[in-house]
Structure 1
Amino acid sequence: MTLGLLLTLAALAIVDSTSFGTLGIPVFLLLTSDRSRTSRLLIYLATLAGFYFLVGVALMLGLSTVMDRFGDALHSRPAYMVQLAVGVGLFLLSWRFDPKWRAKRGKPARRFEPRVGGPRVMVLLGLTAGALEVATMVPYLAAIGMMTTSGLAAGQWLPLLAAYVLVMFLPPLALMALRGVAGAWLEPKLEWLRAWLSKHAESAVSWLIAIVGFLLARDAAYYLFFT
């Protein structure tokens, strides 16, 4: 486990923490529920965090099996060339999610505003958000791939994965804590953030894909040209 790997994972986790499921939906829920019902938001966050952790464990175990069979091939020069191509491809693909690109082609912007409900609704919302986002959360999938290719033992990647998921949910937890002590001051800021997230959701996706593409391309370029 190298410092470079830890820094890259930290960067990816921070990027993941700004997704609609980990930040956008919690902000909407904070604004649509009073402080006495924040336990429902915690249920949502716990459900989503548990979902991502279990998905990560499943992926790590599955990818570990692949690495045992094809580890040498995945560390080869052709494999890193494929990774470089994927990274560059993701960077270029990010432009298709840019709202300006969509507007020029007459495609409407997407907006989603969830509403607070009972505990069962919050669990369902968390599972739904996870199921819808996990396939498109390129930073998370990239982090899983990097941990797998690094050959970490289960005693290393399990706490690392747990820490990754925790970092993903630090922003909404911090907002909840801040709301508890400075609710009157924070409410207008949350409303502004809600409006901003709703308006720039597609732009955020574009940036997420671009950042992950850059990180993958940079990692591959390092092994191809500097080792």
Structure 2
Amino acid sequence: MTPALALTLAGLSLIDSTSFGTLLIPIWLLLAPGRLPPGRIAAYLATVAVFYFCAGVLLTLGADAVLTTARAAAAAVPPFTLKAGQLALGIAIIALSYWLEARARRREGAPGKVQRWRAKTMSGSGGAGALMSLALLAALLEVATMLPYLAAVGLIANADLGWQFTGATLAGYCLVMTLPAIVLAIARLTARQMVESLLQQVNDWLTRNAARVMGWTVGGLGIAVALNAVASLLLEG
């Protein structure tokens, strides 16, 4: 592996470390009241890291085959039909974003059911399986939109590192992805008074805006998909 590739992968992994599933949800979990069981946050972060490692392995092994199949399938569909379908998908995603934001408005001022679930689960009275399920759900929702991660997997696949070094590189990448959350967890355990104020500010913002931000993010994705389809249709027309 060249130094340039190593630096590029490190930069991409640090960008990925700031995503909703790798940083914002862990911060929210770290703000659960009471003593923080290290095993609970470790279970969440380990699940995220293992998911992305396994996804990276599958993508690396099957990247060429998947791309070839996808291109062949797309070539069999008339271009107008393909772009019309893309436009319909974009509109559907935009509609979903409005539904998400409307749901957020309806839930404003409602009792903190999610906060109670967090307190129960992080205190040790709830099952760790719920945290692992949350980690898997967050990773599944994000993996297709994490462009730095997908770019990194492509770079690793094209570097011809050998399967052992490829696996080690993917493992290191996933570790760096979770590193900021690990550092914050250690700080929460060892210096709670120093970091709790900062974490609380982030948590307050997330509590007020997380659902809306999800709606805006989904809406932005839908707009991008729809505009790309419209531009292609106009150019081809």
Is TM > 0.5 for Structure 1 vs Structure 2? yes
How much is the aligned-residue C-alpha RMSD, in angstroms?
A: 3.4
Alpha-carbon separation, structure 1, partners of 2:2 and 2:18: 25
2:49 corresponds to: 49
1:16 corresponds to: 16
Residues 34 and 49 (structure 1 numbering): CA distance in 2 closer, same or farther, change over 3 Å?
Answer: farther
Alpha-carbon separation, structure 2, partners of 1:19 and 1:110: 23
Cα deviation for residue 65 of structure 1 reads 5.5
Q: Is the 8 A contact 1:26 1:172 kept in 2?
A: yes
1:185 corresponds to: 194
Cα deviation for residue 126 of structure 1 reads 1.1
Normalised by the size of structure 2, how large is the TM-score? 0.62
Q: Is the 8 A contact 2:30 2:36 kept in 1?
A: no
1:222 corresponds to: none
1:6 corresponds to: 6
Q: Is the 8 A contact 1:64 1:148 kept in 2?
A: no
5 Å-filtered alignment, 1:23-172, equals: 23-63=23-63, 108=101, 115-116=117-118, 117=121, 118-172=127-181
Identical counterparts, % of pairs: 42
Q: Is the 8 A contact 1:30 1:38 kept in 2?
A: no
Q: Which runs of 5+ in 2 are unaligned?
A: 69-93, 105-113, 122-126, 222-237
Normalised by the size of structure 1, how large is the TM-score? 0.65
Residues 33 and 122 (structure 1 numbering): CA distance in 2 closer, same or farther, change over 3 Å?
Answer: farther
Cα deviation for residue 184 of structure 1 reads 1.5
Q: Give the letter for the 2:138 counterpart.
A: A
Alpha-carbon separation, structure 1, partners of 2:155 and 2:217: 21
Q: Give the letter for the 1:171 counterpart.
A: P
1:173 corresponds to: 182
1:75 corresponds to: none
Residues 28 and 161 (structure 1 numbering): CA distance in 2 closer, same or farther, change over 3 Å?
Answer: same
Residues 33 and 163 (structure 1 numbering): CA distance in 2 closer, same or farther, change over 3 Å?
Answer: farther
User: How many residues were matched structurally?
Assistant: 175
Cα deviation for residue 110 of structure 1 reads 9.4
Q: Which moved more, 1:163-172 or 1:36-45?
A: 36-45
Q: Give the letter for the 1:123 counterpart.
A: M
**Secondary structure of residue in 2 paired with 1:35:** coil
Alpha-carbon separation, structure 1, partners of 2:199 and 2:36: 17
Cα deviation for residue 38 of structure 1 reads 3.4
Query: Runs of at least 4 residues of structure 1 off by over 4 A?
Result: 64-67, 107-111, 196-202
1:93 corresponds to: none
Q: Which runs of 5+ in 1 are unaligned?
A: 70-96, 210-227
- Which protein has the larger Cα radius of gyration, Structure 1 or Structure 2? 2
Q: Give the letter for the 1:55 counterpart.
A: A
Q: Give the letter for the 2:40 counterpart.
A: R
